[in-house]
Amino acid sequence: MSIDGDVPGLVVVGGSDAGIMAGLWAKLTNAELPVTVVVRDAYPNFSICGLPFYLSGETPEWQMLAHRTVSQLEDAGLRLLLGHEAFAIDPSARTVHLRDPEGDCHDLAYDRLVVGTGARSIVPPLPGVGLPGVHVLHTIDQARELDLAIERGARRAVLIGAGYIGTELADALTRRGLEVVLVEMAPAVLTTFDPDLGELVGAEVRRHGVSVRTSTTVERIAADEKGLRVLGSRGLDTPADLVIVAVGVRPETDLLVSAGAATGARGAVIVDAGMLTGLDDIWAAGDCVQTHHVLLDSPSYLPLGTTAHKQGRVAGINAAGGHASFAGSCGTQAVKVFDLVAARTGLRGGEAAAAGYQPVSVTVTADDHKAFYPGATPVHVRLTGDRTTRRLLGVQLIGAYGAEISKRIDIAATAIHAGHTVDVLSDLDLSYTPPLSSPWDPIQVAGQAWTGSVT
């Protein structure tokens, strides 16, 4: 059976960052092109990145997480098939097989197809991980379930994994009044930062009453009449009303792989710079594909909303007959945890060495703005450059919320993207007024320290 009114054109599978960007940019490129977006759930164009702030209560209603409403998307020319799951693609017949909300199956013809099926949370095979009360967080429905559990009286939470989602959730659940235990296998929280910098965030989390158990591996989850217990190495035995597993994501590639697409880094689908898979007229974007990293020769997997937006745009333009290519990422990310912000871009020293660079790193601390104006706070900067080429390779920043940490990392991200040397940082014409900065921004202070040490 075909979907009523089915007109081949562009079909997009996935209605989050990548899929919606693809649909909207396709319409901007060719307003006449029929664009149908197939979405498994009922939440097109919602901010997954906003889920921790809904759970904290800072964003009181989940509906507020919509980047655009359904009617705004329809006004932009997208036909939405909500609650429809694509379960197979037939590339030779140019058809997507769908299951509708009633469970009936339909075929949807396409001329061109973009797949943005995203990622799903990794659930390690721990005994007890399937017990009621054990959650993951990747969708609106999962966030609403968690919210309900809190509303029904959950008071003790154990978070497994202290990456950026685990630390954001430690903040969120503490704000909701829960007692939180944060368990991390690595020696410090925020494993995408050097451990001594991650520890600054660890101290911030502890300062707000969270119990942080680093170098600790969860081995099993048990249930008794009093609730859940999380057990692991180093004597971990913690009671909980709810447990959230936040140990990363894996690309959702079943559709593309069964249609014949090849996979690469971390099992993500291989695409070219135009986001074309190896399959005829099938593009893919976002968390389901691997990413070109501007500093690495090898492909990487960087499941981030920023990347999904850019890749979705490129896929949509190309699928609509335009010409665009994805320029690559440098792994820029920022996270706010209580009153601190941690941000990074590019490679850390160890990552750079593993990629064949000759990294030299310096660490400086500089005020975010002139000390004579009230409220100055320290910004910790670790800057890494290549000894031979002097190319800027990476920056990690930790500082107070309000100290413009994320926009400061964007200076470094821009410089890396442009292929600048560390020395060029001092030439950049950055803004200055005493309440906001200094004549030399902390990024430039770090650059000068590096330049002075690598002669």
Ligand X SMILES: Cc1cc2nc3c(=O)[nH]c(=O)nc-3n(C[C@H](O)[C@H](O)[C@H](O)COP(=O)(O)OP(=O)(O)OC[C@H]3O[C@@H](n4cnc5c(N)ncnc54)[C@H](O)[C@@H]3O)c2cc1C
Residues that bind ligand X (CB under 6 A): 13-19, 38-41, 48-49, 51-52, 85-86, 116-119, 137-138, 165, 252, 255, 286-287, 303-306, 308
Nearest-approach distance from CB 207 to ligand X, in angstroms: 22
Nearest-approach distance from CB 173 to ligand X, in angstroms: 13
Q: Which is nearer to ligand X, 138 or 391 (CB)?
A: 138
Show the tokens assigned to 12.
Answer: 């997009």
Closest CA to 180 of 192, 171, 188, 189: 171
Nearest-approach distance from CB 55 to ligand X, in angstroms: 9
Q: Which is nearer to ligand X, 49 or 236 (CB)?
A: 49
Contact 383, 345 (CB under 8 A): no
Q: Which is nearer to ligand X, 58 or 427 (CB)?
A: 58
Strand partners, 363: 382
Beta-carbon contacts of residue 128 (< 8 Å; ≥ 6 apart): 134, 220, 221, 222, 223, 228
Nearest-approach distance from CB 50 to ligand X, in angstroms: 8
Displacement of CA 422 from its chain's centroid (Å)? 27
Helix (H, G, I), strand (E, B) or coil at 305: helix
Displacement of CA 404 from its chain's centroid (Å)? 20
Q: Which is nearer to ligand X, 85 or 386 (CB)?
A: 85
Q: Is 418 exposed, middle or buried (0-12, 13-18, 19+ CB in 10 A)?
A: exposed
Q: Which is nearer to ligand X, 40 or 94 (CB)?
A: 40
Beta-carbon contacts of residue 394 (< 8 Å; ≥ 6 apart): 295, 344, 345, 346, 347, 348, 349, 351, 352, 383, 384, 412, 416
Question: What Rg do the C-alpha atoms of the chain give, in angstroms?
Answer: 23
Nearest-approach distance from CB 163 to ligand X, in angstroms: 10
Q: Which is nearer to ligand X, 137 or 415 (CB)?
A: 137
> How far is the C-alpha of 368 from the C-alpha of 376, rounded, in Å?
6
Residue 7 neighbours by CB distance under 10 Å? 10
Nearest-approach distance from CB 256 to ligand X, in angstroms: 10
Nearest-approach distance from CB 208 to ligand X, in angstroms: 19
β strands within 324-369, DSSP E: 333-337, 340-346, 359-367
- Going across the sheet that includes 35-39, the strands are 78-82, 35-39, 10-13, 112-115, 282-284
Q: Which is nearer to ligand X, 136 or 210 (CB)?
A: 136
Q: Which is nearer to ligand X, 416 or 422 (CB)?
A: 416
Helix (H, G, I), strand (E, B) or coil at 211: strand
Nearest-approach distance from CB 439 to ligand X, in angstroms: 31
